[in-house]
Amino acid sequence: MVDILTARDERIRLIESLLNKDKVIICLRVNYPGQEKVNQDTITVAKIIHEEIKKNFQLTNYRYFESLEGPIYLYEVSSDDPIIVKKRTIAIEDNHPLGRLVDLDVYYQSVKSISRKDLNVSSRKCYLCNEDAFKCIIAQKHDINEVKNYFRDKINSFINVPLDLMELANQAMLYEVSLEPSFGKVTPSTSGAHHDMDYQLFLDSISVLSKYMLKFAQLGYQSKPIVAMYEESVELGKACEKAMFVKTKGVNTQKGLIFVLGLLVMCSAKVLFEGSDFQKIFTYVEILGKKKFCELDKLNGDNLTKGEQVYKQYNIGGVRYEASLGFPLIQEALKIINLNDRKSYLKTFLFLMSKCDDTTIISRKGIDTLNDVKQVMNRLYNSDFNMEEIVRVSDEFVQKGINPGGSCDLLCGTFFLKLVKNYIDKIKSKEGEKHDE
């Protein structure tokens, strides 16, 4: 204890030497139980929050060192308003998935840090019982190994959940593009109604989208309200589109899917962070989808996408409208698809094409063609599973240049959410087994 107090005093002296009239100092420390405070876990947490600090503040300098207190970062912030700095560090502590594992102290003109109490903000809560953290520490209320296990679990979840969601998104994209027959979409054996893309190009595109699906998952995996993530998600979608076009040399392979799948990945991550039920995903989709759909009414000018042109002409919102309702077609499709039954994949696609107001079909072939497609697919969906007839219709669609892009995006979203549902069910099953023990 004496050694730790000595290390604390040395840190305070260093902070004092950095302070001057116009300088704000942030100190990042990791809250880890026990005496061995410099270890792989604490260093990992410190590095992750360090990156968050760099994103959120204009720094003039920073330094890193290790002591008996653990890994420590000291930041010199370019700001003359310590209250704003403190509010932003509190936001990181409260919203970042690993924020509870660190202390971000703010100093200005004094070695007495600005406290939450100074800002009338509630005190930090205990990892395990959500009571006042300081009181739990003083009372040594919890077993140290229990706290260490919580610490490790938070790190593992922060790293692994977004990676798992990226994997499921990648799996869903591969399932969609590999499904045959074509009905005009790209598959391994045909370019469908397309003359500028093929299966290989789609694989190239998927390789780029996968990276950004990880970013969508990381964005969603935090305690910040879902609506507060909207602007950042829009910018992330634009960056993904730009990267896709670079990879495909200007060919629009999956622009619509970036919206659908990015939204679903982010909302799934939010639900997993909260430990909420699967159905909550659609609640979050609806919240963000309504914001996106409202933008259609503000459109003006000539530089409109094909989907936006369709909305202006026919008042059909396509997948944006679907998202604003919480993807009701995907919710219905989830009742049809069975990941252990490959025939159900095609059955699900028939259903979606029979119901989807596909703006891709409208923009290429007009509203009458869409209505004909929906009628034909409804007949196929509700009839006996006649593979010869299904292939015949598929070939006819290819010859006519029909491209069911919107239905493909919804199919991919259905695959993804079915995989997510299984993922959540496995988590809850493991939690149930632990509870029974």
Give the residue from 81, 18, 95 showing the smallest Cα distance to 52.
95
Contact 237, 260 (CB under 8 A): no
Same domain, 129 and 188: no
Contact 217, 178 (CB under 8 A): no
Question: Do the domain assignments include residue 66?
Answer: yes
Same domain, 67 and 175: no
Same domain, 130 and 185: no
Q: Which of 80, 112, 142 is the last residue of a domain?
A: 142
Q: How many CB atoms lie within 10 A of CB 320?
A: 22
β-partners of residue 66 are 71
Same domain, 116 and 182: no
Same domain, 209 and 334: yes
CA separation for the pair 359, 306 (Å, rounded): 8
CA separation for the pair 25, 75 (Å, rounded): 5
The pLDDT value given to residue 79 = 85
> Domain total for the chain?
2
CATH number at residue 315: 1.10.4200.10
Same domain, 194 and 332: yes
User: Backbone dihedral region of 337: left (phi > 0), alpha (psi from -120 to 50 degrees) or beta?
Assistant: beta
Question: Do the domain assignments include residue 150?
Answer: no
Q: Residues in the chain, how many? A: 437
Question: Do the domain assignments include residue 148?
Answer: no
Question: Do the domain assignments include residue 258?
Answer: yes
The pLDDT value given to residue 437 = 56
Give the residue from 268, 273, 33, 276 showing the smallest Cα distance to 150.
33
Same domain, 374 and 274: yes
Give the residue from 342, 354, 363 showing the smallest Cα distance to 407.
354
The pLDDT value given to residue 205 = 98
Question: Do the domain assignments include residue 164?
Answer: yes
Same domain, 105 and 44: yes
Same domain, 384 and 328: yes
Question: Do the domain assignments include residue 147?
Answer: no
Question: Do the domain assignments include residue 428?
Answer: yes
Distances (CA, A) of 55 to 49, 130, 209, 357: 10, 29, 23, 41
Question: Do the domain assignments include residue 151?
Answer: no
Q: Which of 82, 112, 142 is the last residue of a domain?
A: 142
> What helix, strand, coil percent values describe the chain, rounded to 5?
65, 10, 25
| pLDDT per residue of the chain (437 residues) written in tens, 0 to 9 | 558 889 999 999 999 999 876 789 999 999 998 889 999 999 999 999 999 999 999 999 999 999 999 999 999 998 889 999 999 999 999 999 999 999 999 999 999 999 999 999 988 888 778 777 777 766 777 788 888 999 999 999 999 999 999 999 999 999 999 999 999 999 999 999 999 999 999 999 999 999 999 999 999 999 999 999 999 999 999 999 999 999 999 999 999 999 999 999 999 999 999 999 999 999 999 999 999 988 887 777 677 888 888 888 888 899 999 999 999 999 999 999 999 999 999 999 999 999 999 999 999 999 999 999 999 999 999 999 899 999 999 999 999 999 999 999 999 999 999 999 999 999 988 877 665 55
Q: Which of 115, 142, 169 is the last residue of a domain?
A: 142
Same domain, 34 and 165: no
CATH number at residue 63: 3.30.70
Taking each helix axis from N to C end, the angle separating 230-247 and 280-294, rounded to the nearest 10 degrees, works out to 80
CB contact set of 185 (below 8 Å; sequence gap of 6+): 177, 192, 193, 403, 404, 405, 408
The pLDDT value given to residue 172 = 98
Same domain, 137 and 161: no
**Residue-number span of the structural domain to which 30 is assigned:** 2-142
Would you say the C-alpha torsion 220, 221, 225, 228 has a positive or negative sign?
A: negative
The pLDDT value given to residue 307 = 84
Same domain, 202 and 118: no
